Amino acid sequence: GGRFEISLNDNPTTILIWSRKQEGRFPEAKEVKQLVRDHLCPEKNLGHSDRKNPKQDS
């Protein structure tokens, strides 16, 4: 088995923003965009990627 993690490197610190082992699944592209944005430029609007998924609201 392999390892799937997404991290941001802000020397000297590395920030883990996604771990398949911890989450139990792979992220959706929308989630990756939001996680990266939240750390690098939280005030930036991602447009359609920031809209809620109507399936999750029911």
pLDDT at 50 over 70: yes
d(CA 22, CA 16): 11
- DSSP 8-state symbol, 10: E
CATH fold of 5-48: Glutaredoxin (3.40.30)
Q: Domain ranges for the chain, please list them.
A: 5-48
* Model pLDDT for residues 20-48, shown as the tens digit of each residue: 999 999 999 999 999 999 999 999 888 87
pLDDT at 58: 45
Structure tokens at 21: 């082992």
- DSSP 8-state symbol, 26: P
Q: Which residues contact 40 (CB under 8 A, 6 or more apart)?
A: 8
pLDDT at 56 over 60: no
pLDDT at 54: 55
Cα 37 to chain centroid, rounded = 8
pLDDT at 47: 84
